[in-house]
Amino acid sequence: DDKNRFTSIVKYGELKHNGEKYTLSIRSENLHYFTQNSYHGLGAELSELIYFNGKLYTIDGEKGIIFEVKHGGNLIPWITLKNDDGNQKGGFQAKWATVKNDKLIVGSVGMAFLDAKTMNIDRDALWVKEISESGHITNKYWDSEYKKVRDAMG
């Protein structure tokens, strides 16, 4: 059923640094990745592409689903990250990822927001998720780490 199938288009390219100059070449072919995972009618809003534990992963930045990227265009759900301490119903809005000490570290935008409906401070984006190779998730509140980054940026 195509109405429940979501596509993300990948363009392949190469960025080369040569002295003080950069050149970018983009291949003409596109690769389409498909998923039927959705939330409120949205799907395949991929925010990151990262190699971890011998596999290629991508993260749906709105729903917190980490997919294994399979050759041929399939996205296989691996784990789902939840907001805050991991015990919330909403998916984690993942915006970046890196690998450190054999862990996949996934973070959000790193700032709190005012919820216009409740007038409460929403701190969900101040958490990061540390994921082991087996998929165990440790939720870490990173307010002080994000503050250090903001302070360093002026």
DSSP 38-71: -BTTB---EEEEEEETTEEEEEETTT-EEEEEET
pTM of the model: 0.76
48 annotated to bind ligand: yes
Q: Give the Cα separation of 56 and 124 in Å (integer).
A: 26
Distance from C-alpha of 116 to C-alpha of 110, rounded to nearest angstrom:
19
What pLDDT does 145 receive? 94
Instruction: Give CA–CA dist 23/64, Å, rounded.
Output: 33
pLDDT at 34: 67
Each residue's pLDDT expressed in tens, for the chain with a length of 154 residues: 566 666 767 777 888 988 889 999 988 777 777 666 555 555 566 778 899 999 999 898 778 899 998 877 778 889 999 988 888 888 888 999 999 999 999 999 888 888 888 998 888 889 999 999 999 999 999 999 999 998 999 8
Is 47 among the annotated ligand-binding positions? Answer: yes
The upper half-sphere exposure of residue 44, i.e. CA atoms within 13 Å in the direction of its Cβ, equals: 17
At 89 the pLDDT is 82
